[in-house]
Amino acid sequence: MSKYTEDDLREELKTKEYEYGFYTDIESETFPVGLNEDIVRAISKKKEEPEWMTEWRLEAFRVWQNMEEPEWANVNYEKPDFQAISYYSAPNSKPKYDSLDEVDPELLATFEKLGISLDEQKKLAGVAMDVVVDSVSVATTFKKTLGEKGIIFMSISEAIKEHPELVKKYIGTVVPQKDNFYAALNSAVFSDGSFCYIPKGVKCPMELSTYFRINQAGTGQFERTLVIADEGSYVSYLEGCTAPSRDENQLHAAVVELIALDDAEIKYSTVQNWFPGNAEGKGGVFNFVTKRGLCEKNAKISWTQVETGSAVTWKYPSCVLKGDNSVGEFYSIAVTNNYQQADTGTKMIHLGKNTKSTIISKGISAGKSQNSYRGLVQVNSRAENARNFSQCDSLLMGNECGAHTFPYIEAKNKTAKIEHEATTSKIGEDQIFYCNQRGIDTEKAIALIVNGFSKEVLNKLPMEFAVEAQKLLEISLEGSVG
């Protein structure tokens, strides 16, 4: 592991290519590279997991060994060598802290650079932060407030110890171990993640949020998130990502499972800003994520995502509309610049009667990037009166990028009503001219137009995120005026 010097850091910050490109040197406990059954066992042991969990991981690992890496996505990249990754790394300074003073000062400095100093966060906006640095949850705040309502919000490894019955009952029910290559890998080696349970009839009083970061050279991050909203409850969950600059490609294969029981509602928002690689397309994070939600009767799941980072993104937040009258929503903005590649979209599986789904996807491609929308709307033969509306708009900036749409629509019920629309366009010269004329420079004008283009989705984000997301859009498209 090569060490970063102060000068390197300063140099990197100076270039300002990637605002959050720094690296914290915390003594980490890192496993040897490679993956076999022993490593899986060791991870499980390290986390002091019960026997059933170890078995569950091993089962996934065995399935994974016989699976092949999928190639159908519209992306090109050098495949990661799964035997060259270390599958576990944890900040060394255990055990956990009760107050901020005990936290490793270097970590705190990291947060400060990110602009998420814990004290401030505590006061601001009432957001409870479960901060994940290098896969292990270091500090959890507002736990007490949530505890009073009976809400369980903790890292998944804690949940496995403290609430094994809940985890056992729900883990893998929405995304089974053998679902796909990366989900199987994640099931075998997941290091940590968040667990959230909202009891019957409880409206979660604050937005739950987790910042995921990758922070150790050569370690992939495999989080596992499980959100369960019991009957009649409501929760809004935020997830934001930033990662330090790194030259080699990093692998990120997360699994998120949402379960909305009868009459429950889950709103899941993501701002993803992993390191996208530099302007020459070198480096950057591989983001292969499986996200899926299950809706029971009258339940609603809403996915909102702003994707600006990662060298390669492969992500399809999905809704299984199992219960009658359930609703699935998907709002997405995907921005790609330079050599980024994104293949993202959603799946809406209509199983119950009177189920509804809405898909709004906005793709913005600039530089030499490729941006694809890939979606599936499936109406099964018993899903009477299913309704879907999909809209995919693409905005192209420059003639070296590409925008692609691959919508799959499968209908097996005559009462189904499905609409799909897609358009592709560019920013009109007249629009830019109009702005210029009124004293708005071209860069600002583009930001303005892009914001207008993606407004429908931005509006769906919670307040704090909407502001951050708007800024992100601007940063991502910097220098792409053409």
Interface ranges with other proteins (CB under 8 A): 72, 379, 381, 394, 396-426
- Please, what is the minimum distance in Å from the beta carbon of residue 419 to other proteins? 5
In 296-355, the DSSP E strands lie at 300-307, 312-315, 318-321, 327-336, 341-344, 347-350
- Please, what is the minimum distance in Å from the beta carbon of residue 411 to other proteins? 5
- Please, what is the minimum distance in Å from the beta carbon of residue 174 to other proteins? 24
Can you tell me the distance from the alpha carbon of 334 to that of 321, in angstroms, rounded to the nearest whole number? 24
> Over the range 419-433, which residues count as b (16 or more CB within 10 Å of their CB) and which as e?
eeeeeeeebeeeebe
Can you tell me the distance from the alpha carbon of 151 to that of 130, in angstroms, rounded to the nearest whole number? 14
> Which residues make beta-bridge pairs with 416?
none
Q: Is the Cβ of residue 6 or residue 68 nearer to other proteins in the bound state?
A: 68
Q: Is the Cβ of residue 278 or residue 378 nearer to other proteins in the bound state?
A: 378
Q: Is the Cβ of residue 115 or residue 482 nearer to other proteins in the bound state?
A: 482
Q: HSE on the CB side for 277, CA within 13 Å?
A: 27
- Please, what is the minimum distance in Å from the beta carbon of residue 412 to other proteins? 5
User: Residue 358, SS3?
Assistant: strand
71 exposed, middle or buried (CB, 10 Å; 0-12, 13-18, 19+)? exposed
165 exposed, middle or buried (CB, 10 Å; 0-12, 13-18, 19+)? exposed
Residue 382, Cβ neighbours under 10 Å: how many? 12
CA nearest neighbour of 235 among 212, 211, 269: 269
> 78 is written with which tokens?
């050098």
Can you tell me the distance from the alpha carbon of 210 to that of 132, in angstroms, rounded to the nearest whole number? 7
Q: HSE on the CB side for 25, CA within 13 Å?
A: 7
212 close to 221: Cβ distance less than 8 angstroms: yes
- Please, what is the minimum distance in Å from the beta carbon of residue 263 to other proteins? 28
Residue matched to tokens 């369980």: 152
- Please, what is the minimum distance in Å from the beta carbon of residue 360 to other proteins? 15
* Side chain identity, residue 338: N
Can you tell me the distance from the alpha carbon of 18 to that of 199, in angstroms, rounded to the nearest whole number? 40
Pairing, β 356-365 against β 285-295: unpaired
Can you tell me the distance from the alpha carbon of 419 to that of 390, in angstroms, rounded to the nearest whole number? 6
Q: Is the Cβ of residue 352 or residue 462 nearer to other proteins in the bound state?
A: 352
- Please, what is the minimum distance in Å from the beta carbon of residue 235 to other proteins? 33
- Please, what is the minimum distance in Å from the beta carbon of residue 440 to other proteins? 21
Q: Is the Cβ of residue 155 or residue 313 nearer to other proteins in the bound state?
A: 313
Q: Is the Cβ of residue 51 or residue 72 nearer to other proteins in the bound state?
A: 72
Phi-psi region of 336 (alpha: psi -120 to 50; beta: other; left: phi over 0): beta
Q: Is the Cβ of residue 82 or residue 406 nearer to other proteins in the bound state?
A: 406
- Please, what is the minimum distance in Å from the beta carbon of residue 182 to other proteins? 20
- Please, what is the minimum distance in Å from the beta carbon of residue 443 to other proteins? 18
- Please, what is the minimum distance in Å from the beta carbon of residue 477 to other proteins? 14
User: Residue 5, SS3?
Assistant: coil
- Please, what is the minimum distance in Å from the beta carbon of residue 353 to other proteins? 13
269 close to 462: Cβ distance less than 8 angstroms: yes
Q: Is the Cβ of residue 147 or residue 482 nearer to other proteins in the bound state?
A: 482
Q: Is the Cβ of residue 97 or residue 406 nearer to other proteins in the bound state?
A: 406
* Side chain identity, residue 266: I
Q: Is the Cβ of residue 158 or residue 384 nearer to other proteins in the bound state?
A: 384
> 70 is written with which tokens?
């999928």
Q: Is the Cβ of residue 80 or residue 398 nearer to other proteins in the bound state?
A: 398
Q: Is the Cβ of residue 92 or residue 423 nearer to other proteins in the bound state?
A: 423
